[in-house]
């Protein structure tokens, strides 16, 4: 197996910079869209053969150095007892949002083997056909909590923050429940054969550093502590680049970066106790090949001082992205980083 | 006139920390909603008597230390020849978005005296009745450009970035046109009697530092240079806290901060060549009075090392905010900062 990705996670020297792309199995790929024509999004997540198929697609097409399990961060939330739907226009909808003690009590604990057996099954299928590491993942408790409280996506997180500020005990209870569920969920993925875990904290950037420290960080720390002795763990706290010293306190092996910070500045803030992942603006892939190569070169240079670097976009690849440009980016990372080292 | 706000802008010592609130004239106020029942949003912006009335409301209700002209950042964009509408659900819509040379050529230069006379008229009316400084404002060229290219709000700024990366010359031409318009627009407000200018760069946080430096900063610098010798100028680059050393290069007297950074860290990054404005999470105003007072105290302490501090929220006050809590925040700022100094 090509272990470059795992070596970079641990800060070991590699021959070139490994690269994968968030949402690399997704709508920008015609091969993915073909599978999706047959089934809806949730059915795809829950059908191991199809989930495995789309997980493997980008590995073959893009020649990336890691695969990530095709799934959705709300899968365990649904399994905890919330009704989930995906709307083309509005995105995810969770019915009966958690706003009080009573709705919190309706939630079940997560038993991954019984509740989401398709996740382990998909992992086992992928593992048989893969010669690069497989990344398992979960949403972070804070991000999952906001979906559950808001009942879907949100602009200003008003309901979540109302709970935090008006009834912090209830918010912390929900976070405790979610942390327990995430640890079980991630452990089931480890047992099934993933090689690393990424924790997506997509909405934690809605918090001030003070609130991050109170309402999000302690729970991520528990998850990291539970995983870290077994496998490398990546913490991606989107839009939190002005509080990286706090993000680092998660204890994760790798810190994911969006594109709002110069990577060299992130390295300064994070030190050499962790590796970094990122951080090209996904929209650069709408540019010319020359621009893509220039930006790859810029990011690689900016990350030179890091303990280890896994090249990635600073957010998920956009559905409108030309596949050829994604391929060009991966090629440029491999080519330019081999010269550098 | 109470000059505390202007003194803090210039970094002079003040008896207490001045405070105003972004969108302080807005939907959270019953008095504002009463005026809005009579006219639509754009008519309100364009009727000097009504714009003056709602501009003055929060000064009397909240006892803030500055007023800000009630208007919208897209007013000069409409005057340049784009058809503008406000939809309750979608927000601003600009018809025939700028995507090519031909649509750029359709834009007119801005002649504020002829095109937007109501702005100067409203300023003159407010000035007669006001005993605190009046802030005039404009959108920054980058933010206005994204509205014009996207045709309204956007999530991923794909059209704007496509133009930047595929046809940078066209993007820079649009930015030149906008910079010229903004300078004229701001000058007209100065001539009419405002005491300070705030430049709102609401969407510049969509850029990497590298792109901020190429596509946004040079234009803001031109505007700041044109204003700074006349009046204090505040630059609010929303969601750019991981690139404050670049934001500082705008040359603005005051840098606005959102809530995603601890103010003390911002002071470290910015140094003592500018004052700061901010930075409480608007959602704190959904909390208890005790929490509001605690957070006011935290922000005041965190800003102690700054050359000057103007207290504000880190973003516009939300429509759902209880007025009493906004009043409590202003009172807490005045009370606690008098003790500190």
Residues of A in contact with B282 (CB under 8 A): 156
Minimum distance, in Å, between the CA of residue B158 and any CA atom of chain A: 7
Nearest CB to B260 within list A242, A287, A288? A242
Q: What is the mean pLDDT of residues A111-129?
A: 98
Beta carbons of B156 and A205 less than 8 Å apart: no
A 10 A CB-CB count for A290 gives 8
Cβ(A139)–Cβ(A182) below 8 Å: yes
Given a cut of 70, is residue A341 above it in pLDDT? no
Q: What pLDDT shows up at residue A89?
A: 83
Q: What is the ipTM of this complex?
A: 0.96
Q: Mean pLDDT in chain A?
A: 97
The pLDDT tens digits of the residues spanning A15-68 come to 999 999 999 999 999 999 999 999 999 999 999 999 999 999 999 999 999 999
Q: What pLDDT shows up at residue A108?
A: 96
Distance CA A185, CA A141 (A): 12
For chain B, list residues whose CB is within 8 angstroms of any CB belonging to chain A.
Answer: 156-158, 161-162, 165-166, 205, 207-211, 239-243, 259-262, 265-266, 281-284, 286-288, 291, 295, 298, 314, 318, 320
Given a cut of 90, is residue B341 above it in pLDDT? no
Beta carbons of A165 and B283 less than 8 Å apart: yes
Q: What pLDDT shows up at residue A90?
A: 84
Rg of chain B, C-alpha, whole Å: 19
> Catalytic positions of A, please?
23, 27, 36, 72, 147
Given a cut of 70, is residue A292 above it in pLDDT? yes
Minimum distance, in Å, between the CA of residue B33 and any CA atom of chain A: 21
The pLDDT tens digits of the residues spanning A82-95 come to 999 998 888 999 99
Distance CA B31, CA B47 (A): 17
Given a cut of 80, is residue A339 above it in pLDDT? no
Beta carbons of B261 and A239 less than 8 Å apart: no
Residues of B in contact with A158 (CB under 8 A): 283, 286, 318, 320
- How far from the centroid of its chain's Cα atoms is residue B162's Cα? 26
B127 is catalytic: no
pLDDT band at B340, cuts 50/70/90? low
Q: Nearest 5°: CA angle at A252, between A98 and A232? A: 110
A 10 A CB-CB count for A41 gives 13
Q: Mean pLDDT in chain B?
A: 97
Q: How far does chain B reach from its first CA to its final CA, in angstroms?
A: 21
Domain B4-340 belongs in CATH node 3.20.20.210: yes
Considering only alpha carbons, which residue of chain A is nearest residue B265?
A242
Stated as kind and residue range, the H or E segment containing A244 is helix A244-248
Q: Nearest 5°: CA angle at A23, between A186 and A64? A: 95
Cis ω before A279 (30° cut-off from 0): yes
Across chain B, where does the E strand assignment appear? 67-68, 84-87, 91-94, 134-139, 196-201, 233-237, 254-256, 275-280, 309-313
**DSSP reduced 3-state for B219:** helix
B131 is catalytic: no
Lowest mean pLDDT among A337-341, B39-43, B148-152: A337-341
Given a cut of 90, is residue A174 above it in pLDDT? yes
Given a cut of 60, is residue B126 above it in pLDDT? yes
Nearest CB to A242 within list B209, B241, B295? B241
Q: What pLDDT shows up at residue A209?
A: 98
Q: What is the mean pLDDT of residues B192-215?
A: 98
Proportion of chain B above pLDDT 70, given as a percent: 99
Q: What pLDDT shows up at residue B88?
A: 82
**What does the block give as tokens for B230?**
């006349």
Given a cut of 60, is residue B162 above it in pLDDT? yes
Given a cut of 80, is residue A334 above it in pLDDT? yes
Beta strands A91-94 and A84-87 are antiparallel
Q: What pLDDT shows up at residue A340?
A: 55
| b/e per residue A43-75 (b: at least 16 CB within 10 A) | ebbbbbebbbbbbbbbbebbebbbbbbbbbbbb
The pLDDT tens digits of the residues spanning A180-230 come to 999 999 999 999 999 999 999 999 999 999 999 999 999 999 999 999 999
Given a cut of 60, is residue A295 above it in pLDDT? yes
Distance CA A173, CA A247 (A): 22
The pLDDT tens digits of the residues spanning B12-27 come to 999 999 999 999 999 9
Q: What is the mean pLDDT of residues B254-270?
A: 98
Distance CA A202, CA A147 (A): 11
A 10 A CB-CB count for A37 gives 7
Given a cut of 90, is residue A113 above it in pLDDT? yes
Q: What pLDDT shows up at residue B1?
A: 86
Distance CA B165, CA A26 (A): 23
Domain ranges of chain B: 4-340
């Amino acid at each position: 197996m090509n272990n470059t990705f795992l070596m970079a996670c641990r800060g070991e020297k590699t021959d070139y910079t490994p690269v994968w792309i968030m949402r690399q199995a997704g709508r920008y790929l015609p091969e993915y869209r073909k599978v999706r024509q047959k089934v809806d999004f949730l059915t795809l997540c829950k059908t191991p053969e199809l989930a495995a198929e789309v997980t493997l697609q980008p590995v073959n097409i893009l020649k990336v150095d890691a695969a990530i399990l095709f799934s959705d961060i709300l899968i365990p939330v649904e399994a905890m007892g919330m009704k989930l739907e995906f709307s083309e226009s509005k995105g995810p909808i969770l019915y009966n949002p958690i706003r009080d003690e009573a709705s919190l009590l309706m939630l079940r604990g997560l038993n991954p083997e019984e509740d989401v057996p398709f996740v382990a099954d998909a992992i086992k299928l992928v593992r048989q056909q893969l010669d690069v590491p497989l990344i398992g993942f979960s949403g972070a408790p804070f991000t999952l909590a906001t979906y559950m409280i808001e009942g879907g996506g949100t602009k200003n997180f008003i309901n979540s923050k109302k709970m935090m500020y008006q009834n912090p005990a209830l918010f912390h209870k929900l976070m405790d429940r979610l942390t327990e569920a995430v640890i079980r969920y991630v452990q089931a993925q480890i047992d099934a054969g993933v090689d690393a875990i990424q924790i997506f904290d997509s909405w934690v950037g809605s918090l001030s550093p003070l609130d991050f420290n109170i309402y999000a960080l302690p729970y991520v720390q528990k998850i990291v502590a539970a995983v870290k002795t077994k496998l490398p763990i990546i913490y991606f706290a989107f839009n939190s680049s002005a509080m990286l010293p706090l993000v680092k306190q998660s204890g994760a092996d790798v810190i994911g970066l969006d594109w709002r910070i110069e990577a060299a500045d992130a390295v300064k803030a994070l030190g050499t106790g962790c590796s970094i992942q990122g951080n090209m603006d996904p929209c650069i892939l709408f540019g010319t090949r020359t621009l893509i190569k220039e930006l790859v070169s810029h990011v690689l240079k900016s990350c030179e001082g890091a303990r280890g670097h896994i090249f990635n976009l600073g957010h998920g690849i956009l559905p409108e992205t030309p596949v050829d440009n994604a391929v060009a980016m991966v090629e440029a990372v491999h080519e330019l980083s081999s010269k550098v080292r």
